[in-house]
Structure 1
Amino acid sequence: MQFSRYLTLLWLTVFSLSLPAAERPETSPAIATDSLSYLAKIELHTPEEIAELFERASKLLEGENGYSLGSPIAFVLHGPEVEYFAKMNYPEFKSIVDKAAQLDAFRVIDVRVCNTYLRIHNIDRSALPPFIEIVPYGPAEEKKLKEKGYVDF
């Protein structure tokens, strides 16, 4: 009985490997892993859009029992939304900044700001919260992430 089971398994393995790739049966791994990395797609650059994206990210946090299990969602800011994070604007955009800080602390998001935007708009790095990473040029950072396989969030 044991020998016939091994023989059957061997035959199925040989047969499966002899099929062209398109005809091989689909299998799924024993442990499912979501290896996708996400890049927040920011189009309108409004407080409402940023708040909505953070809320979507927050739902992921709630779904993972309070902790991020994958790569954080990259938020590359290089438009007027950068100014929402400046200390002088904190009273007006407190809810957005606080939500970003919470999501960053739990590694749900990773906020990156364009240094070119900061320089053009005369915003000092020290005017931004410490959890924000500065990148040389936002559009180039987005392109680099897309080349690494990041998909729109």
Structure 2
Amino acid sequence: MASDCLNLSMIFDLAVKNSEKGVSYYRKMQELAEDTIAKEVFHRLAEEEDEERRALIKVARAEANEGEINLDEQTYCYLCALGDELSFPYDQTKEFRALTPRDALEIGIEAKKDGILLYHELLNRCATKEAKNILLHLIENEQRHLLELRDYMYELCPTGCKYYRKIGNTGVS
């Protein structure tokens, strides 16, 4: 791979395309969900993902106006790997359906964590103040959404979920 092809705009393209897949995935899961709460969670996640997609497009435009930022091969591969981890599992080889509220919340929680990590990495590599401000806003939103989903998980299934209760509710951490 030539080094002039290893640039930040390619990473933003990957992130935008992945957000588009995320919107489609969450909408499909909303249709397939049998539980009303799971349907609502997936609807909300689809709306949030579409908002992120629009923000990422703004970041990519701001960075494109500044000029292309080339990356070394290791950094480029690392950012691509983070982007690959965000891929939503709706291809033909995977059976992946979340029909319960717990499944919906766990998917949302993992997606938020992955997004936060990628956006922090992109933030560290952006050149423009506009792009950095948009990414900071995205990170804050993702963090808030992560906490909301986690709190909802605690309310919905205080025992039996893979996430523990809040400290103070039972003394369990």
TM range (shorter): under 0.3
If the length of structure 2 is used for normalisation, what is the TM-score? Answer: 0.23
Higher relative helix content = 2
If the length of structure 1 is used for normalisation, what is the TM-score? Answer: 0.26
Which of structures 1 and 2 has the bigger CA Rg?
1
Higher relative strand content = 1
